[in-house]
Amino acid sequence: MTTTTPGVSRYMGQAAEIPDIDEAALSEVIAGVLQRVNTEFSPDEILAPSDAIRRQIGERIAVLTRGQLRRHNLITAFSSAQEQALISRIIHQTMGLGFLEDLLPPARTDVSEILLNQDGSLWVMPRGVRRAQRVDTQLTPADVRLVIDKLLGPQARALSEANPVVEAKLPRGVRLPAGARVNIVGLPIANGPFPIVNIRLYEDRPVKPEQILAWRMASPEIMEFLAELIGRDTGRVVISGGTSTGKTTFLSCLCNYINPKARIVLIEDPAEIFVDHPHVVSMEARPASVEGKYGVPLGALVTTAMRQSPEWLVVGEVRTGQAAVWLLRAQMSDHPGLSTIHAETPRAAIDTLCLLALLDMDVRFQATKTLITQAIRYFVQIGFDGHHIRRVIQVTHVEPALKHGEVFLNDVFRFDAKASTAERPVWNRVDK
C-alpha cells in the first residue's frame, strides 16, 4: 500500500469497484469533499502532511464522503467495500497522485511506463517486457485532469485547448525516486473523452551489469567483452535499437565500466541516465519556447562539451544531424564515447546518421560514412526476441576504413533466436 498511517490505511488499496452510477453525480460528490477539505486544511498541510495531519485528513474525508453520498441520495448504492474504495480514491486525489498511487513506488517497483489511452483504459509496461498489461480500474476525466494538474503545476506547465500537447520532465521526489518524463495529449487532439498520457519512469539507481545479466538481456561473455573495451578507455560504442528496447538502460549499465577517475561529460535530451561516478559534468538540452526562442539543441552541447576537457563523452540519444556530426568529429579525435540512436539494425543506424547529417548539416553521405569509420568502433544492437523480452541482438565491429565506398561491418556476437527460449537465451561468438 502507499501508506500505513492509522486512520488512512484502512481505506487504501481497496479492490472493490465504484458502482455504475451517474458520472455527474459522482463528480459532484468528489468535488464537494475536495472543496471542504481544501477549506478546512491549508495547502501546506495537504501537500506535505505530517503523520498526524494525514490521519486527520483521511478521517475527515471519510466523514465528508458519507455526508455527500447521503446528500445526493447515493448512500444505498454503495456497499461498505465500495464506499471505502471511493474514500481511498479521494484520499489519493487529495494527498497523492490519484490513480497513479498504486502504480508508483513503493506500491509497485516493476513498472517502467504508465499509459493512459483516450478511451480511459490504463496500462503499464513492466520493466524488461515489451507488451503492456491492462490495469483494472475505473477512471473519470475529472480524476485524470486533477492528476495532470498536480504533475504539471510545479513545472509551470499546463494542458489547454491552445496547448494540447505537453512534454515535461518530472523531478525526483518521494513518489518518483528518479523522476520521470511525461507526455500528454489533450482534447480535442486526443480522439476520445480522456487525454492520452505516457509517463516513463527513470531508474532510481545505477543499472548494474548484474541486473542486465539477471534480465538475460546479454550473456556474461558479451558483458566481459564490453567491459574490457570500455575499461581500456578505447570504447567508441553506439547502442542502436527501436522504441522502448532499453537503449538508455544499457548505456547506463556500460557507464559502470568507465574508469572512475575519468572526467565524463554527459549530454542528454531529456536527462534520464544515472551515472554513478565521482567526476560527471551533466548538461541537458532545452527545447525552444512556443515562439521558437531560447532553445539549446543537443548538437550545441556536444560542441560545448569539447571545450570542457572530457575524457569520455556520453550522449543520451543522437536525434539531429548537428549532434551526429559533432559527436563523430569528437570521437575521431580519440575521445571515447557512448551514445544511442534509434535504428533497427547497425546498417540502419549508419543510414540514419548519414541522413541526419545531410538534412541538418548538408554533409554528404560519403563524408559521413568516412566519419563513421574513424569515430565508431562498435554497434550494440538492442531489440526484442520472439518472447517480447529485451535482448542484445548483435555486437558489430566497424572496420576503420571504407570498402568500395561503404562502411564495412563484422559481427562479433549474434543472438540465436532459433536456439533460444524465454529462460535460456543463446548468443554465439562469430568472429573467431
pLDDT tens digits, 289-300:
666 677 788 878
Helix (H, G, I), strand (E, B) or coil at 412: strand
**In this structure, are residues 209 and 256 in contact, taking their beta carbons and an 8 Å threshold?**
yes
Asked whether the beta carbons of 378 and 338 are under 8 A apart, the reply is no
- Give the integer Cα–Cα distance in Å for 382 and 344: 8
Beta strands in 117-222 (DSSP E): 122-126, 133-135, 165-170, 180-185, 196-201
Report helix, strand or coil for 286: strand
Residue 153: count of CB within 10 angstroms of its CB = 10
- Residue 344: which residues within 8 A CB-CB, separation 6 or more? 240, 241, 242, 383
Q: Is the dihedral of CA 21, 24, 25, 29 positive or negative?
A: positive
111 near 123, Cβ under 8 Å? no
Residues in Cβ contact with 339 at an 8 Å cutoff, skipping those fewer than 6 apart: 237, 238, 239, 251, 313, 314, 315, 316, 317, 318, 327
Residues 29, 207: Cα–Cα separation, whole Å: 45
Tens digit of each residue's pLDDT (9 = 90 or more) over 125-153:
887 676 788 998 878 887 788 788 878 87
Q: Are 98 and 183 in contact (CB under 8 A)?
A: no
Q: Where in the chain is the domain with CATH 3.30.450.370?
A: 98-202
Provide the 3-class DSSP secondary structure of residue 52: helix
pLDDT score at 380 = 98
- Residue located via cell numbers 543520451: 316
Q: Which of 355, 377, 393, 349 is nearest to 246 (CA)?
A: 393
In this structure, what C-alpha cell is assigned to residue 281?
559534468
Counting runs of H as helices and runs of E as strands, what totals does the chain give? 12, 15
Between CA 379 and CA 76 the distance in angstroms is: 64
Q: Residue type for 22, please?
A: D
Residue 302, pLDDT score: 84
Question: Side chain identity at 281, as an amino acid letter?
Answer: V
How far apart are the C-alpha atoms of 311 and 327, rounded to whole Å?
A: 13
Integer CA distances (angstroms), 204 to 97, 178, 315, in order: 19, 4, 19
> pLDDT tens digits for 192-227?
999 999 998 877 677 899 999 999 999 999 999 999
Q: How many residues does the chain have?
A: 432
Helix-helix angle 321-332:365-375, to 10 degrees: 40
pLDDT of 344 higher than 50 = yes
Spatial contact of 143 and 216, defined as CB atoms under 8 Å apart: no
pLDDT category of residue 173 using cuts at 50, 70 and 90: low
For the chain, residues classed under CATH 3.40.50.300 are 209-429
pLDDT at 11: 43
Q: Which of the four pLDDT bands, split at 50, 70 and 90, describes residue 272? A: confident
Domain range 98-202, CATH architecture: 2-Layer Sandwich (3.30)
Residues contacting 83, CB < 8 A, separation 6+: 65, 66, 69
Per-residue pLDDT, 327 = 86
3-class DSSP assignment, residue 255: helix
Q: Which one of 15-29, 150-164, 228-242 scores highest in mean pLDDT?
A: 228-242
Reported as a pLDDT band with limits 50, 70 and 90, residue 9 is: very low
Name the fold adopted by 209-429: Rossmann fold (3.40.50)
Distances in Å between the alpha carbon of 126 and those of 115, 132, 390, 393?
11, 7, 12, 20
Predicted local distance difference test score (pLDDT) of residue 20:
67
What is the pLDDT of the chain when averaged over all its residues?
A: 85
pLDDT of residue 7: 41
Q: Which residues make Cβ contacts (< 8 Å) with residue 128, sequence separation at least 6?
A: 112, 215, 217, 246, 389, 390
Find out whether 362 and 219 touch, Cβ atoms under 8 Å: no
**What is the pairing mode between strands 280-284 and 264-268?**
parallel
318-351 CB burial, b ≥16 within 10 A, e <16: bbbbbbbbbbbbbbbeebbbbbbbbbebbbebbb
Show the cell assigned to 144: 485524470
Lowest mean pLDDT among 91-95, 118-122, 266-270, 385-389: 91-95
- Cα–Cα distance measured from residue 401 to residue 383, given in angstroms and rounded to the nearest whole number: 27
Give the count of alpha carbons within 13 A of 356, CB side only: 22
pLDDT for 122 beyond 80? yes
Q: Where is pLDDT greater, at 320 or 430?
A: 430
pLDDT at res. 181: 84
